[in-house]
Amino acid sequence: MTQAPARPDTAPGDWPDTRQPDNTKIDAQIRELGYDPVNKKGMDGMHFLFAADYTTTDGAQFLNDALKDKSYKVIVRSQVLTFAPGPFQAVSDLYTNCTEDTAPMELQWSQTVSSTMSFEVTAGVEATFFEVVKASMSMSFGMSWTTSETFSSTYGMQVRSKHLGWMERSANRQTITGEIWVIKEPDFFTIAWYGNGQITGQATDGRPKGTLVPKTRPMTQGEISKFCTTRQDDGAGPVLPSFALPYLSAVSLDAQEE
């Protein structure tokens, strides 16, 4: 896979692989509710703290219930923010060139990059949870969080005779690794829980959003017989759906950072 030269404002080395949080404001919130976020204990004998595992069925149910109940305060306390390119995915349909000459093709592509978690958050409370994530990102990193983002455009490429062409894209991703605190609002006594978690989404620190790659490979003789026997007026073969792409071996042409 060959990558096109980076643009001047996105030269290698300009973008860190990790960022450390400033949790001053987050920790102040937790302390106001009676807990020491560093030493993981209550501030006095009326505040009880327990570890939670949100990856279990019971733990996930508890977190989702807490997000629905206004008497619970949910806080994301970040430990580190890491950045990495996501896997390349097919983002266009598959175009065939059944002519005897190299042909220009205008490929339409689209990719939606959604957030994922190491624990389950249901659709009913997803918006509430990501408001918590956005607040944490703003306070701890001075950055935003995009729950879901869709990218789409067209790309002109040359596809050689009896070849297939399509587009693949890798989104640049950011991952929060940290703690999810759930604190019951003060009553006669207060109970809180904390558990580890990871949240991954589209990178929002200003780096390129992703890398777009045109791909091509020769058709097999069987594919030529199947797709090119009945030629259309323009000499092109059919456009195949993107679900066919995982079954194809590919040769990369070049890459383009966005």
Predicted confidence at residue 155, as pLDDT, reads: 95
User: Taking the chain (258 residues) in consecutive chunks of 10 residues, what is each chunk's mean pLDDT?
Assistant: 37 80 97 94 89 97 96 96 96 92 93 97 96 97 96 95 95 98 82 97 96 94 85 56 57 68
Report pLDDT digits (tens) over 158-168: 999 999 999 99
Strand segments, DSSP code E, in 115-188 are 116-117, 148-159, 163-184
> Which of 111, 88, 79 is closest to 175 using CA atoms?
79
Kindly provide the b/e burial profile for residues 182-206, where b requires at least 16 CB atoms within 10 angstroms of the residue's own CB: bbbeeeeebebbbbbbebbbbbbee
Report pLDDT digits (tens) over 142-182: 999 999 999 999 999 999 999 999 999 999 999 999 999 99
Geometric angle at alpha carbon 169, from 168 and 172, rounded to 5°: 165
Contact assessment for residue 220 and residue 171, using Cβ atoms and an 8 Å cutoff: no
Predicted confidence at residue 191, as pLDDT, reads: 93
